[in-house]
Amino acid sequence: MKIIADFHIHTKYSAATSPRLNIDGMVDGAKKKGISLLASGDFTHPLWLKEMEEKLVDERDGLYYYNGVYFIQSVEVSNIFSINNRTYKMHTVLLAPSLEVVKQINDVLSKHGKLEEDGRPTLNYSLNEMVDELKSISKEIAMIPAHIWTPWFSLFGSKFGADNIKEIVEDSSLIIGLETGLSSDPPMNWMLSSLDKFTLVSNSDAHSPESLGREANLLEVEKLSYKSIVEGIRTGEAMVKTYEYFPQEGKYFFDGHRKCNICMAPEEAMKFNNRCPVCGKPLTIGVMHRVMSLADRPYGKKKENAKPFRHIIPIDQIIAKVVGKAKTTKTVKEEYDKLIRYFGSEFSIYEASEDSIRLGAKPEIAEAIIRVNKGDVLWHEGYDGIFGEFSFSEKEGKKGGSKQKNLLDF
């Protein structure tokens, strides 16, 4: 069976999230997107754990169920630690095979951070120590380093990340995949041969129901269970393809300094010694620059047995761009709901034929969706915490997306 899965989301108990991220809100959002398997998010938070115990039905195969959507137990944790006087800050998604195991994990993690303060707890101990403790609970626990290139909290981030995995994780046996994050896509990650042994996964890191599935995974398994999902990702056998943000839309794609409205491609930033030409402060080094600095392959070289992927833009954003209104307006919501009623879900729209899209959507919206599906979009790239913006007009943006031939061209 084929399913669309999103393994990294948050709930109303995480900072800066929608109050609608309760179980009912998550299920409603997942159905509109076409997601069959959703991360529970935030299982370390005691109030969220209580809500899950009250509402979710245990399917006895490591997954849980509520009103048409399956859930896998998950949380994102933030580890802050030092090795040889160097500070590292890293976010990691943990998956667990049952609520019983979740409670054991929470007992251990509560010794290293205040779990009730945030759905994404800050833990003051190293990845190596955490791996040892998790393995002592259950070797079925899985880890996915989150958004591995973002500058501030990630495996390879330019601010507090490592140059290689072994630098901070000696035992990688629990790691089943690496999350590309919104500011990178598979071709960028293929530039590092050291990542070849890991499956690349893509998740939304959603902070609202509308953001669910902005990146996601298409999986195929014989039987839907925790074990089949985790082992299928680890081996890559379950992974059919990933749905990716255009990396230019990610808020850390290019280098920059938001206070001075400075956005630069890596080569341009290097000409200024990676400093802001306005105020002289260090630029926030973006994902593309960081990838290039660690790469041992040229961009465009496809790794062996690489999985397919496709770039997407959320449908409400496409509608908003076409009608010239915010995606939260009544006009956009009405057009969005019409499309969902016709196609069934967002992912059904992405996979629909051009003829079907033209039948189901207004002409100008249909043509915009088709252009996005072809990668025929223009960009003001994201930088230093500011999301990139796409357009369909040369007056509003510049060529980007799948039209880019080589990262060094920037």
Pairing of strands 64-66, 57-58: antiparallel
pLDDT of residue 223: 95
pLDDT at 396 over 70: no
Find the mean pLDDT for residues 136-165. 99
Contacts of 128 (CB under 8 A, 6+ apart): 168, 169, 170, 171
CATH class of 2-247: alpha beta
The mean pLDDT value of the chain amounts to 96
Tokens coding 40: 């529970």
Percent of the chain predicted with pLDDT > 90: 95
Beta-carbon-side half-sphere exposure of residue 179 (alpha carbons within 13 Å):
29
99-117 pLDDT, tens digit per residue, is: 999 999 999 999 999 999 9
pLDDT at 137 over 70: yes
Selection from 177, 138, 213, 185 nearest residue 291 by Cα: 185
226-284 pLDDT, tens digit per residue, is: 999 999 999 999 999 999 999 999 999 999 999 999 999 999 999 999 999 999 999 99
Residue for token pair 């999230």? 17
Listed by start position, the domains of the chain span: 2-247, 314-376
pLDDT of residue 401: 41
Residue for token pair 């195969």? 61
Helices and strands: H and E segment counts in the chain: 13, 18
| pLDDT band at residue 126 using 50, 70 and 90 as cut-offs | very high
Residue for token pair 């994990």? 105
pLDDT at 333 over 90: yes
In whole angstroms, give the CA distance from residue 199 to residue 176: 7
Percent of the chain predicted with pLDDT > 70: 96
pLDDT of residue 393: 86
pLDDT of residue 408: 40
Tokens coding 175: 């790691």
Find the mean pLDDT for residues 199-219. 99
346-361 pLDDT, tens digit per residue, is: 999 999 999 999 999 9
pLDDT of residue 409: 45
H or E, element range at 244: strand 239-245
pLDDT of residue 395: 64
Find the mean pLDDT for residues 304-322. 98
pLDDT at 404 over 60: no
In whole angstroms, give the CA distance from residue 39 to residue 201: 13
Residue pair 157/89 in contact by the 8 Å Cβ criterion:
yes
In whole angstroms, give the CA distance from residue 32 to residue 293: 39
Find the mean pLDDT for residues 144-149. 99
User: Which strand ranges, in their side-by-side order, compose the sheet holding 389-391?
Assistant: 389-391, 378-380, 398-399
pLDDT of residue 394: 72
| pLDDT band at residue 379 using 50, 70 and 90 as cut-offs | very high
pLDDT at 400 over 50: no
For residue 201, the cross-strand partners are: 179
| pLDDT band at residue 405 using 50, 70 and 90 as cut-offs | very low
Find the mean pLDDT for residues 41-58. 98
| pLDDT band at residue 399 using 50, 70 and 90 as cut-offs | very low
pLDDT of residue 157: 99
pLDDT of residue 60: 86
